[in-house]
Amino acid sequence: MPELPEVEALREYLDEHLTGRVVERVLPVAVSVLKTYDPPLTALEGQTAGETARHGKFLALRIGGLHLVTHLARAGWLRWQDALPEQPPRPGKGPLALRVALRGGGGFDLTEAGTQKRLAVYVVRDPQEVPGIARLGPDPLDASFDRDAFAALLAGERRQIKGVLRDQGVIAGIGNAYSDEILHRARVSPFKLAASFDGEQVTQLYAAVQDTLREAVERAHGVAAGKLKAEKKSGLRVHGRAGEPCPVCGDTVRSVSFADSSLEYCPTCQTGGKPLADRRLSRLLK
């Protein structure tokens, strides 16, 4: 799933390649992708693209006086093409969900792999009209998101810290992969209750959030859209690396599987050497 660093890189890429271009056609391919109907997609045609904004994991492309907003969900992606196929796309079972063709040639496709179709597209006058954007918590890279603001979010949270970090209504932009990386860097169990952190632990976790995300954004800076997925994977230390040695201590990275996802962690670095039970209701290991 694209998270804050990858979406930020896509935003930069679109600013460079899309700004100032005129939208010729917008072609929906998957019926389920479009979540709004007024204004229609056709209202974007003939309009000039402006700057692209990021709201958590959402991209908001300003086109004329409207915004084309997309959430790439778990398996979605944006594929830029300097030359689009001459034949218009046909609805079917393939990954293509929506195509934006630009005047003068080229454009981009929104694609989604797999059978669970969750990629979403909205055409709105204001990005805040999108429910998912309206409920977002603060952006962790915003200048106002300091250590005290982070501490206030954790105070009173009786949930496990892994779930809190992933909750877009608490903090915008962090998903499954980077929450694993943040907790590994902070040397914290993913099952530790958020409200149980003392002042020093809050400071340590806040630093891990900032360092992990900013380093990932820097790695992704200037990377072509088509190479961002590979770049993300290459920079991960524990997520998706179950069975491999921890790069910090050499212990074996372990995994906890859930119904539709998993988390990875290092027992030595994060749980005092104790493996976490591989079930959803695992007890907190301190």
pLDDT digits (tens, 9 = 90+) for 62-85: 999 999 999 999 889 999 999 998
| pLDDT at 178 exceeding the cut of 80 | yes
What's the confidence (pLDDT) of residue 279?
59
Q: Tell me if residue 66 falls in helix, strand or coil.
A: strand
DSSP-assigned letter for residue 42: G
The pair of three-digit structure tokens given for residue 12, joined into one six-digit string:
């930069």
Identify the helix (H) or strand (E) that includes residue 1.
none
Query: Residues with Cβ < 8 Å from 70, sequence gap 6 or more?
Result: 58, 59, 61, 76, 78, 110, 119, 120, 121, 122
Q: Which of 101, 100, 38, 33 is nearest to 73 (CA)?
A: 33
| Mean pLDDT, residues 162-174 taken together | 97
Can you list the positions of beta strands (E) in 64-175? 66-71, 76-81, 96-102, 107-112, 120-124
Q: What angle do CA 75, 19, 222 make, to 5 degrees?
A: 60
The pair of three-digit structure tokens given for residue 249, joined into one six-digit string:
């201590």
pTM of the predicted model as reported, rounded to 2 decimal places:
0.92
Q: State how far the alpha carbon of 243 is from the alpha carbons of 175, 176, 270, 277, 282, in Å.
A: 22, 18, 16, 16, 20
> What's the mean per-residue pLDDT of the chain?
93
65, amino acid identity: G
What's the confidence (pLDDT) of residue 282?
44
